[in-house]
Structure 1
Amino acid sequence: MSDLIQLLTPEGERVEHPEFRFDPGPGVDEAEMIRGLLRDMVLCRRLDTEATALQRHGELGIWAPLLGQEAAQVGAGRALRKQDHVFPTYREHGVAWCRGIDPLDMLSTWRGTDHGGWDPVATGFHLYTIVIGAQTLHATGYAMGVQRDGLVGTGDPDRDTAVIAHFGDGASSQGDVNEAFVFAASYNSPVVFFCQNNQWAISEPMERQSRIPLFKRAQGFGFPGYQVDGNDVLATYAVAQAALQRARDGEGPTLVEAYTYRMGAHTTTDDPTRYRLSEDVEHWKLKDPIARVEAYLRRNGLVSDEWFAELEAEADALGVRMREGCHALPDPSPLSPFNEAYAEITPELETQRDEFAAYLSGLQGAAPEVTR
Structure 2
Amino acid sequence: MVSKTRKPKVVHKPAFTDGAEFSIATFQLLKQDGTLYKGAKAPDLEKDQALRIYRAMVYTRVLDERMLAAQRQGRLSFYMQCTGEEAAVIGSTAALDDADMIMAQYREQGALVYRGFTTDEFMNQMFGNEEDYGKGRQMPIHYGSSELNYMTISSPLATQIPQATGYAYGQKLAGEGHCTIVYFGEGAASEGDFHAALNMAAVHRVPVIFLCRNNGYAISTPAAEQFAADGVAPRAYGYKMDVIRVDGNDILAMFEATRQARRLAVEDNRPVLIEAMSYRLAAHSSSDDPSGYRSKDEEQIWRDKDPILRMKAWLQAADWWSDDDEKQLQENYRREVLETMKRAQKRPPPPLDSLVSDVYQEVTPELARQLDNLKAHIRKYPDAYPKTAEQAKGGA
The reply to whether TM is greater than 0.5 is yes
Counterpart residue number, 1:236: 254
Residues 112-151 of structure 1: pairs in structure 2 closer than 5 A? 112-113=128-129, 114-115=136-137, 120-151=145-176
Equivalent runs, 1:91-110 vs 2, <5 Å: 91-110=107-126
Please, which moves more after superposition, 102-111 or 279-288? Answer: 102-111
1:348 counterpart (355, 360, 364)? 364
The match for 2:201 among 180, 184, 207 is 184
- 1:198 deviates by 0.5
Map of 2:57 onto structure 1: 41
Q: Is the 8 A contact 2:157 2:188 kept in 1?
A: yes
1:235-254 to 2 correspondence within 5 Å? 235-254=253-272
Q: Aligned letter for 2:29?
A: L
List alignment gaps of at least 5 residues for structure 1: 25-29, 152-159
Preserved contact between residue 185 and residue 215 of structure 2 (Cα < 8 Å): yes
Q: Which residue of 1 aligns with 2:76?
A: 60
1:320 to partner: Cα distance: 2.2
Return the letter of the residue paired with 1:360: K
Q: Is the 8 A contact 1:136 1:176 kept in 2?
A: yes
Report Cα offsets for 1:194-221 as digits up to 9, x if no partner.
Answer: 1111010000011111221211211111
Secondary structure of the residue that 2:291 maps to in structure 1?
Answer: helix
Aligned residue for 2:151, secondary structure, equals: coil
CA contact (8 A) 2:215 2:279 kept: yes
**Using the alignment, how far apart are the partners of 2:357 and 2:114 within structure 1?**
29
Structure 1 residue 307 corresponds to structure 2 residue 325: yes
Cα distance between partner residues in 1 of 2:373 and 2:59: 46
**Partner Cα separation in structure 2 for residue 352 and residue 133 of structure 1:** 30
Q: Say which of 43, 47, 52 aligns to 1:22.
A: 43
Of 32, 35, 45, which aligns to 1:13? 35
Q: Residue 3 of structure 2 aligns with which residue?
A: none
Q: Contact 1:66/1:91 (CA < 8 Å) preserved in 2?
A: yes
Separation in structure 2 between the aligned mates of residue 180 and residue 2 of structure 1, nearest angstrom:
22
Query: Per-residue CA shift, 1:171-194, capped at 9, x if unaligned?
Result: 010111111011111110111001
Q: Deviations over 1:56-90 (max 9, x none)?
A: 11122111111101111110121121210001011
Name which of 18, 26, 50 aligns with 2:66.
50
CA distance in 2, matches of 1:255, 1:17: 25
Matched letter for residue 139 of structure 1: A
SS state of the match for residue 245, structure 2?
A: strand
- Native 8 Å contact 1:50 1:322 kept in 2: no
Q: Which moved more, 1:242-251 or 1:353-362?
A: 353-362
Q: Compute the displacement of 1:108 (Å).
A: 4.0
CA distance in 2, matches of 1:208, 1:355: 46
**Secondary structure of the corresponding residue to residue 285 of structure 2:** coil
Tell me, in whole angstroms, the C-alpha distance in 2 between the residues paired with 1:204 and 1:347: 44
Q: Which range moves more in the overlay, 209-218 or 229-238?
A: 209-218
- Structure 1 residues 16 and 122: CA distance shift in structure 2, 3 A: farther
Instruction: Render the CA deviation track for 1:336-369: whole Å, top value 9, x for unaligned.
Output: 1212324xx31525x7336623651465179x96
CA distance in 2, matches of 1:17, 1:131: 43
In structure 2, the CA distance between the partners of 1:162 and 1:321, relative to structure 1 (3 Å rule), is: farther
Partner letter of residue 288 of structure 1?
Answer: D
* TM-score normalized with structure 1 length: 0.87
* Native 8 Å contact 2:123 2:341 kept in 1: no
Q: C-alpha distance in 2, partners of 1:100/1:36?
A: 10
Say if 2:308 is the partner of 1:290. yes
Q: RMSD between aligned alpha carbons? A: 2.6
Counterpart among 182, 187, 205 of residue 222 in structure 2 = 205
Show the counterpart of 1:155: none
Match of 1:86, SS state, is strand
Letter in 1 for 2:263: Q
| Alpha carbons 2:103, 2:151 under 8 Å: kept | yes
- 1:40 deviation in Å? 1.4
On the 8 A contact 1:6/1:17 being kept in 2, the answer is no
Show the counterpart of 1:261: 279
Gap runs ≥5 in structure 2: 1-22, 130-135, 383-387
Q: Distance in 2 between matches of 1:31 and 1:355?
A: 56
User: Counterpart of 2:170 in 1: which secondary structure?
Assistant: helix
Question: Which one-letter code corresponds to 2:241 in the other structure?
Answer: F
Question: Which residue does the alignment assign to 2:93?
Answer: 77
Q: For the residues of structure 1 that align with 2:216 and 2:271, how far apart are their CA atoms?
A: 23
| Cα distance between partner residues in 2 of 1:8 and 1:115 | 42
Give the count of matched residue pairs: 354
Tell me the SS of whatever aligns to 1:121: coil
Q: Indicate the SS of the match to 1:122.
A: coil
Distance in 1, matches of 2:158 and 2:81, equals 18
